[in-house]
Structure 1
């Protein structure tokens, strides 16, 4: 966290997921990295802006706000804890599309608290919110 500008740079993420039975490790790993990137975006950049005069969104499409890309993401390491969860289905297979992003915003908010002593409770965590927090 830059104390003067309030900007946040996520330099490393280690993400561990209880995944059930892994069918294809390579695609599962890629799916988790995508989830981590999604979580970083959710935490730091992606938010719906509303013009309160007219009640309309000012950024209604993906072209209207920043979504993280490769240049925004640094070291990401993913690991799986395979479990034989037969309650889910006979093979113990789980969907992995969103699992990678679930804990990322909270982890980033806690890292910001650790670095600054400022507790952030609303997403996205933007520089102005960090600078204005007490």
Structure 2
């Protein structure tokens, strides 16, 4: 076991438009820049980064779980009632990588990139909504009712 950290790093930027009448948030552009050691397969890494960013978009705007208070189980049990981003929801997504060479990483010099695109994207969208409206929402998803409530409150 290595005594050194093997973390990948990323920075995310989102551009949003917020309709102050309906509370709808539309993401216009997403950019993620990642340092994840030596990328062994650039094509699949790009797909992993952009897929994570789209998952983060869903986390920020549509995906929410509801628990049944009586039984403590999830109410939404399938994708018919659980809203995830579809093609029309996905804006221009760009993932870039920074070449990184760390001789302490081992023979491949690679790091894990499985989920690095997700949480940073949701945070970037939340920050973009704050920048656009002046209102900080601290609970996901940023649904129209929550956005309107924050704008009116």
TM-score (norm 1): 0.92
Match of 2:13 in 1: none
Between the aligned partners of 1:66 and 1:74, the Cα distance in structure 2 is 17
**Stretches of structure 2 lacking an aligned partner (at least 5 in a row):** 1-17
2:74 pairs with 1:57: yes
Contact 1:48 1:60 in 2 (8 A): no
Question: How far 1:70 sits from its partner (Å)?
Answer: 1.7
Q: Match for residue 47 of structure 1?
A: 64
Please report how far the alpha carbon of residue 90 of structure 1 lies from its aligned counterpart in structure 2 after TM superposition.
2.9
Q: Which moved more, 1:19-28 or 1:63-72?
A: 63-72
Point out 4+ residue stretches in structure 1 off by more than 6 angstroms. Answer: none
Name whichever structure is richer in strand by fraction: 2
Unaligned runs of 5+ in 1: none
Matched residue of 2:80: which SS?
Answer: helix
CA shift in 2, pair 1:110/1:31, >3 Å: same
The answer to whether the 8 A contact 1:46-1:65 is kept is yes
Query: How many residues are treated as equivalent by the alignment?
Result: 134
- Matched residue, 1:104: 121
